[in-house]
Amino acid sequence: MKIKKMVDSFNYAIEGIIHAVRTQRNMRIHMITALFILTLCFFYDLKKVELLIITITITMVITAELINTAIEAAIDATTNFYHPLAKIAKNVAAGAVLVTAVNAVFVGFIIFWDKLVPFTYTTINKVKSTNTYAIFIILVIVSILTLVVKAIFGEGTPLKGGFPSGHSAIAFAIATIIALLSENPPVVILSYILAVIVAQSRVDSDIHSVFEVVAGGIFGTLISILLIKIFI
């Protein structure tokens, strides 16, 4: 009987995780990001301490999202009208997720930056030696992949709204390519400032949320770097 109760407890916990993944878009993004980071660990000689920090950081983000989902469900089940305290509870829970996500970015930067520097210099030299047509094809691929992701999440239209922001993805893809082509720091900075302005304009127009444009920017940047690494 005790064993059955223990098995049931595990089943309930797993059902909770599955529910969060199925119903929460942010949880799906966290899971995909976690898989990407863990896969990246295979390609670098990380120390045990670094692996431990990465796994703890990933666990913190996913745990915070699970708690946030539980709090939202509990509030929705007990409150069928607007209440300022319910709003505060949801905002604070979402804030906890944001804090862990920012910490995860910081941890990733500290651990992987030195290992990515040689790759960055190699990529820059390859991009400089390539032709304009290859760069154009990369931008086309980024655009197509963005549309595919929009179709998967089924939100918005191909050219308006939805996850991720296509304008943000393309703007940051262009900024990344310019950053790899140019040796002039002001040009690189201006390129990313323009990309941020494009992303901000989508938020100001109420077409995208901040999260959607941030996801679009990260998506466009990572896909551009990946394509350059593979094809150039």
**Which of the residues are catalytic?**
65
Separation CA 14–CA 20 (nearest Å): 10
Separation CA 76–CA 79 (nearest Å): 5
Separation CA 170–CA 113 (nearest Å): 24
Separation CA 45–CA 54 (nearest Å): 13
Give whole-number Cα distances, 198 to 14, 143, 174, 205, in Å: 40, 15, 12, 11
DSSP state of 130: S
Separation CA 221–CA 130 (nearest Å): 19
